[in-house]
Structure 1
Amino acid sequence: MSLIPTQALSAHPNDRDTLHLLVQSWAHVFAYWQLSSRKMKMVQDHFGTDWLLLQPTLRFYEAPEQAAGSHGTANVSELPLPPGPCCFLSGFLSGRHYFAELGIKNDQGHFLPLLRSNTILTPHIHTNQEIPSNELTPNNLVTYRPTAVSIELVTSKTYEHFSAYSVYLPKSAFPANTEFGGDID
């Protein structure tokens, strides 16, 4: 028996189910997603309510090394699905395996997964590489030991006055006798 991919059932080839994680640094991850219109409609019809009222959620799992890619997990963090199709996230630990699920919360508050991402490995932090091993002492040994994992959405600053080339201030922000060289309107 062969399975038919979800995108094969859609009228649009770019309307597919996707949840993917990309490592940016040891503590930062970029996530992007797309829930096919077919699956979103199916979920809304099943629960009889609008998509946003279903509390769309991203859930992140830290997978133990021996269980990377399996269903065994050590730590779980979640956040409401940010608006748009992607976001940057921070709060990951170095040298750990992570994967994510996009889902909704039902009336009882239970998480119902709809999509699962790839499993990533965050890079290791090597803070002691420049110190020869025969010179290691408690004074020069640096160890990173966070107390808890807390994944957060990284928000960017919005610039009201932005062109394709730079951030600028409008003429009205300067005194009337200021001369400008070039077009800044």
Structure 2
Amino acid sequence: MVEEILALKKKGYTIKQIAKEMDSTVGKVQYRLRKLQSQQNMSENKKEMEYESRQVPPTWNIPSSYELDRIVLLPQGPESLYIYWDLQSSTRHMVSHHFRKPWSELKKKLRVYDVSDLIFNGHNSHRNIDISLPETTDNWFLNDLKANRTFIVDFGIQPDSSDFFTVLRSAPIETPRTESDSKRQDAVKKWKAGDCKTPEWHEQFSSYSIYSLLK
């Protein structure tokens, strides 16, 4: 019936003439045409939605963990460092098993070591400070440090009745020097001028920069 209506409409027939030609009513002819229009609209909307879905790029969510055991230090200025870290699930499980406590109940801390001009053995830092961490924290800003100093940071657990337990240890990093910082500058000038054969800082030279390059 719809095909006949469309054929007559194409010839220029009015709705009334189509109804008379088909021995039907104007209402039935209008109903058929409205239904056809509705079907066509639905089909067009479906095509548009399919096209848009192909054009929208996939969304990417940042994972809460990359399942890596690492801690990274980034200098933010002469007196500040930014730290972030990540742990594998297996490492968390191992530490929890060792202390016989759920990971969420263990006290987490950062231990910051000043190891300037030292070959650090885990105990011989110039000084160290401890920072208690809120649960689920995975990054931290360290402020009020000294410029042109070398730091190492441990992420670890502080049990109630034992010493600090290191889980992750960072590579060493040096805070930038300030314009007024004269550390080693006089020695460098003397060496450049030929006033001394061996640089005065040679005996205290830190191997960390070499270690970082070799690593």
On whether the aligned pair clears a TM of 0.5, the verdict is yes
Give the drift of 1:119.
0.4
Instruction: From the superposition, tell whether residues 24 and 55 of structure 1 become closer, same or farther in structure 2 (CA, over 3 Å).
Output: same
Paired letter, 1:26: P
2:163 corresponds to 1:110? yes
Residue 25 of structure 1: how far off its partner (Å): 0.2
Paired residue for 2:111? 59
- Aligned equivalents of 2:155 and 2:181: distance in 1? 37
Deviation at 1:84, TM superposition (A): 2.8
Q: 1:73-122 CA deviation, whole Å, 9 max, x = no partner?
A: 11100111244321222011011000100110123141010110010111
Residue 81 of structure 2 is matched in structure 1 by 29
Give the distance between the partners of 2:137 and 2:161, measured in 1 at CA.
26
- Please say which of residues 57-66 and 76-85 is displaced more in the overlay: 76-85
Q: Which has the larger radius of gyration?
A: 2
In structure 2, the CA distance between the partners of 1:97 and 1:128, relative to structure 1 (3 Å rule), is: closer
Q: Per-residue displacement from partner, 1:132-163 (whole Å, max 9, x unpaired)?
A: xxxxxxxxxxxxxxxxxxxxxxxxxxxxxxxx
Deviates more, 1:26-35 or 1:118-127: 118-127
Q: Deviations over 1:11-45 (max 9, x none)?
A: xx931101110001001111000111101011112
Higher strand share: 1
Deviation at 1:66, TM superposition (A): 3.5
Out of 47, 53, 60, the position equivalent to 2:99 is 47
Please give the per-residue CA displacement for 1:41-78, whole angstroms capped at 9, x wherever unaligned.
111122221223221111000003132x5533111001
Structure 2's unaligned 5+ residue stretches are: 1-64, 183-215
RMSD: 2.1
Match of 2:176 among 123, 126, 137: 123
Matched residue SS, 1:113: strand
Alignment of 1:1-185 (within 5 A): 14-67=66-119, 70-71=121-122, 72-82=124-134, 83-127=136-180
User: How far 1:125 sits from its partner (Å)?
Assistant: 1.6
Structure richer in helix, relative to its length? 2
